[in-house]
Amino acid sequence: MILSKSDISKLEQVSLQESLKLIDDLFPRQVVFSSSLGQEDQVITDAIFKNNIPVTVFTIDTGRLFNETYELLDKTIARYKQPVKVYFPDATDVEAFVLQKGINSFYESVDNRKECCHIRKVKPLNRALAGAKVWVTGLRSEQSANRNQMPMIEWDEGRQLYKFNPLINWTYAEVLEYLTINNVPYNSLHDKGFISIGCAPCTRAIGHGEDARAGRWWWESSQKECGLHVAVSK
- Catalytic positions, please? 226
User: What whole-number distance in Å separates Cα of residue 44 and Cα of residue 57?
Assistant: 10
CA-closest candidate to residue 189, choices 80, 38, 36, 46 = 38
CA-closest candidate to residue 39, choices 152, 139, 153, 142 = 139
Cross-strand bridge partners of residue 58: 34, 85
CA-closest candidate to residue 143, choices 89, 221, 197 = 197
Burial of 201 (0-12, 13-18, 19+ CB in 10 A): middle
Q: What is the CA radius of gyration of the chain?
A: 17
